[in-house]
């Protein structure tokens, strides 16, 4: 298991107590010595790395074996970090993360859900995701003004859209353009990016809006050549 933002090591010790091989990543240099002392007697030993998870060379840290990520992720890094890990670290086959409720709902949202957006499509491309627990503000000291949720993300054996049909770069170019103007019909928000004939060919109504398309529909639409 790998833990991001291990802090003072309370969760780290619980993870080590399961018998898992744990790598704990902590950015705050003031906390690292404390963390090392807290986990010093853990068995099996805990590896502590002082680093920024957003720029860490994950393949060299994790090696080729499958890993599970367990972390409490702050609001400002949760979405880009999860997206980057799904894109670039296939060794992470599962993530169980605690995030702010609004973030978690976006990560796990499906088409036509109020929280559905570009990051929801990104997650659905690589994985399945579900909100599996709600964490009230009352369990924290000091008590925040937001609620948190636990999101379980499990990597698919293969991307939900076959890369031979359309590569992820093209797919997410189209997805980002669609959600950039989510109130507009796709024929307008994707003008110049998707050919007009692509809608009929992909079985996607040109009057649809971004939040109505699941990842498979985005894939069919993006597979058509750009105009």
pLDDT band of residue 226 (cuts 50, 70, 90) is confident
Plot region of 158 (φ>0 → left; ψ -120 to 50 → alpha; else → beta): beta
Backbone angles phi, psi at 166, to 5 degrees: -155, 135
Burial class (CB in 10 A: 0-12, 13-18, 19+), 143: exposed
| Statement to judge: residues 150 and 173 lie in one domain | no
Decide if pLDDT at 102 tops 90.
yes
CATH of the domain at 176: 1.10.8.100
CATH of the domain at 134: 3.40.50.150
Q: What is the mean pLDDT of residues 45-71?
A: 95
- For the chain, give the percent of residues with pLDDT over 90: 90
| Statement to judge: residues 138 and 94 lie in one domain | yes
pLDDT band of residue 141 (cuts 50, 70, 90) is confident
pTM: 0.93
pLDDT band of residue 199 (cuts 50, 70, 90) is very high
* CB-CB contact of 125 with 119 (8 Å): no
| Statement to judge: residues 149 and 172 lie in one domain | no
| Statement to judge: residues 186 and 207 lie in one domain | yes
Q: Pull the structure tokens for residue 40.
A: 């010093």
pLDDT of amino acid 76: 87
Domain boundary among 98, 122, 155: 155
Domain range for 52 is: 2-155
**Residue 172, Cα to own-chain centre: how many angstroms?**
15
Domain boundary among 127, 155, 183: 155
Instruction: Dump pLDDT digits (tens) for 158-179.
Output: 999 999 999 999 999 999 999 9
| Statement to judge: residues 180 and 137 lie in one domain | no
**How many residues would you count in the chain?**
227
Q: Pull the structure tokens for residue 65.
A: 């074996």
pLDDT of amino acid 104: 97
Tally the domains of the chain: 2
| Statement to judge: residues 41 and 118 lie in one domain | yes
| Statement to judge: residues 71 and 142 lie in one domain | yes
Query: The tokens 């992909």 sit on which residue?
Result: 202
Decide if pLDDT at 40 tops 90.
yes
């Amino acid at each position: 298991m790998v833990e991001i933002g291990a802090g003072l090591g309370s969760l780290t010790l619980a993870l080590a107590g399961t018998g898992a091989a744990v790598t704990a990543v902590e950015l705050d240099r003031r906390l690292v010595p404390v963390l090392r002392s807290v986990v010093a007697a853990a068995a099996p030993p805990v590896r502590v790395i002082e680093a920024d998870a957003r720029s860490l060379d994950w393949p060299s840290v994790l090696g080729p074996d499958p890993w599970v990520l367990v972390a409490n992720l702050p609001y400002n890094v949760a979405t880009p970090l999860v997206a980057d890990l799904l894109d670039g670290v296939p060794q992470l086959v599962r993530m169980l993360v605690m995030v702010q409720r609004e973030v978690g709902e976006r990560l796990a949202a499906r088409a036509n859900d109020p929280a559905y957006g570009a990051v929801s499509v990104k997650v659905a491309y690589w994985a399945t995701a579900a909100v599996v627990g709600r964490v009230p503000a009352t369990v924290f000291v000091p008590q925040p003004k937001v609620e948190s949720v636990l999101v379980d993300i499990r990597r698919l054996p293969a991307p939900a859209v076959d890369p031979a049909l359309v590569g992820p770069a093209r797919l997410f170019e189209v997805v980002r353009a669609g959600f950039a103007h989510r109130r507009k019909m796709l024929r307008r928000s994707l003008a110049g990016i998707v050919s007009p004939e692509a809608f009929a060919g992909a079985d996607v109504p040109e009057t649809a809006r971004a939040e109505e398309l699941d990842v498979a529909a985005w894939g069919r639409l993006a597979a058509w050549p750009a105009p």
